[in-house]
Amino acid sequence: MATEQIKMPQLGESVTEGTIERWLVKPGDTVEKYDALAEVNTDKVTAEIPSSFSGTIKELLAGEGETLEVGAPVCTIETEGGGEAEPEASPAADEPANEMPAAGSDKPENLSGTKGTNISPAPQKQTGGRYSPAVLRLSQEHGIDLSQVEGSGKGGRITRKDLTSLIESGNIPTEGSRPAAEPAKEAAPAPSQPAASQPAASSKPAERPAPPAETAAGDIEIPVTGVRRAIANNMLRSVHEAPHAWTMVEVDVTNLVNYRDSLKTDFKKKEGFNLTYFAFFVKAVAQALKEFPMMNSMWAGDKIIQKKAINISIAVATEDALFVPVIKDADEKTVKGIAREVNELASKVRSGKLKSDEMQGGTFTVNNTGSFGSVQSMGIINYPQAAILQVESIVKRPVVMDGGMIAVRDMVNLCLSLDHRVLDGLVAGNFLARVKEILESISSETTSVY
């Protein structure tokens, strides 16, 4: 018999840690190789940890709700003869993936989540260990002096859970809160670099969190899950870092509605899934992105990256979470192909079968807010993308036509939020005008869904 460790896998690009949501096994259970051991939440996706061995579970090394870094052991398993497991995708526990050295280190790291971009973190106190990107981001957002934080991780390492506990308690150690007996030391200077490469967080004042809300009789406390916290962190980062601008156009989609309605019954019988209006909107956006490639860009600190692939992120909601799967190479797909992929991705989200790689690589987001009856909204940009388009509800309105005649038409509002660091009003306005032109020209004579 041999005892082996199962480690926290890396479940997505830039993922540095995961939270054990629920154990699916207990000590003494017999498992086969690739059996699911636990459900884990990361800042990208909810997934399962598979067993690397066949054997008997010996010990669970982490409790439900506990956050562990990638590569940290989660449980031990007794195996027959100690057969070799397949190579782990994640690094060893004492070298967590994507960790950041303290300020003053000569090792460049990538903070932006965009490959090829080196951004040094704001100066931080160092206690001898290294900080993960999540820890650095939270400390910068909330003005936490990391030298005054006692870590609960391996070897005293500070984890994101340590910081979220401090933030929720309101007892945040800041530079000015150091005891008088221990005079504050000057922060080590960051490595010399161009000013343009400094992150926005280093130039803005630290924000103090609001005091925790009090619970009164009859109130219901709902625990914050890993998925909900990941959504909150990403939205907060987007609003803090990206200067949002907003614009809207009104589109006459009467011809589109008539064309789709004439096809939908036969299409469903033939293909087995619905031909939705949303597929036409995604196709129009993908075509316009090809003509206005600057809209398909990302902010990367000291440069802007204009992406070649047109990968459309779409928002899919469940009762308690929001997922953003990606339609890869949307410009190369037909309306039918997009409709099929939207249907498949939405089904995977709602059945819990969405894979982490199906949420990676998005370059522009299209959100179907009209499914809730909304007619106007401002979306928060899906960081680090540069824009998000909200497709609102199609409603019948009286419209003044050419010649002064009034007619009832099917109208829809398209609402665009953009990162003003990357995009200006001229390119955004021209892009929206082109999307409007494409949609208003759709008809049975000019458009094929195949």
Q: Which residues are catalytic?
A: 420, 424
User: Checking DSSP bridges between strand 364-367 and strand 312-314, what pairing results, if any?
Assistant: parallel
Residue burial 281-316, b: 16+ Cβ < 10 Å; e: rest: bbbbbbebbeebebbbbbbbbeeebebeebbbbbbb
The 3-state DSSP class for residue 259 equals helix
Contacts of 125 (CB under 8 A, 6+ apart): 145, 146, 147, 148, 185, 187
Q: What φ, ψ does residue 414 adopt, rounded to 5°?
A: -110, 120
SS3 239: helix
Question: Whole-angstrom Cα distance, residue 26 to residue 16?
Answer: 26
In whole angstroms, what is the distance from residue 127 CA to residue 118 CA? Answer: 23
User: What is the CA angle 322-282-311, rounded to 5?
Assistant: 70
For the record, the structure tokens of 142 come out as 């909330």
Element at 412 (helix H, strand E): strand 406-419
Of 124, 427, 388, which is closest to residue 242 (Cα–Cα)? 388
